[in-house]
Amino acid sequence: MWPYVIMGAKALTDHDAANKAAASQNSQIYRQKLGIKRQLQIKQGNARQAIVDGDRSRQDVRDAKAEGSIKTALDSLVAEASIKASGIASGQSTDGLLAQAKNTVLKGEAKFLKDMDNKMTQLRFRDREIQQNMEMAWLEADARLKGTSYVSGPSSADLALGLAGAGMQGYTFTQNMS
């Protein structure tokens, strides 16, 4: 009788140990998956902030363009008023000076507008880079999550087989002892 009890107890403890090992491994896998999720959430937060910063920069560029247009109009009026106030007699040379002054103002505006367009282009590239980085971060996190799967411990059928095996070992032991 004792061999049956000992072998049965061993089968139960082995079954319990295998279940505890599987539970421990699953707990570790769960913590790993939580870490992957947290990393993705941090990247998403950084991307959202970068998008907000980009939107703010775009609005700054639009505001600067609007202010630049007003400044150009004022500079043009100031140049025209300066030439007229200088007391130079009107004629072809005065018209030439006036055109030259306006041309100088417009060249400055053209350079300024080109710089603002370059900044907008850089912001579009930055947006695309943010989007691509987030897509890659999501794909990486998805692959890492799918690459780790939970393990299952031994089933009740495994326990039944273990107990049956223990019974057979106990039976064999008692037969050999008799």
Neighbour count for residue 7 (Cβ, 10 Å): 21
pLDDT of 3: 61
Indicate the pTM of the whole model: 0.64
Q: How far apart are the first and last CA of the chain?
A: 13
Query: Does the pLDDT of residue 92 top 90, yes or no?
Result: no
Q: Which residues lie below 8 Å from residue 46, measured CB to CB, with a gap of 6+?
A: none
Measured over the CA atoms of residue 143, residue 144, residue 148 and residue 149, the dihedral's sign is negative
Token pair of 157, please?
């059928």
CA-CA distance, 163 to 7, in Å (whole number)? 8
Is the CB of residue 97 less than 8 Å from the CB of residue 87?
Answer: no
151: left (phi over 0), alpha (psi -120 to 50) or beta: beta
Query: Does the pLDDT of residue 162 top 80, yes or no?
Result: no
Q: Which of 90-94, 133-137, 151-155 has the highest mean pLDDT?
A: 133-137
Residue 156: Cβ-neighbour burial (10 angstroms; 0-12, 13-18, 19+):
exposed
pLDDT of 135: 96
Residue 15: Cβ-neighbour burial (10 angstroms; 0-12, 13-18, 19+):
buried
Q: Name the amino acid, one letter, at 3.
A: P
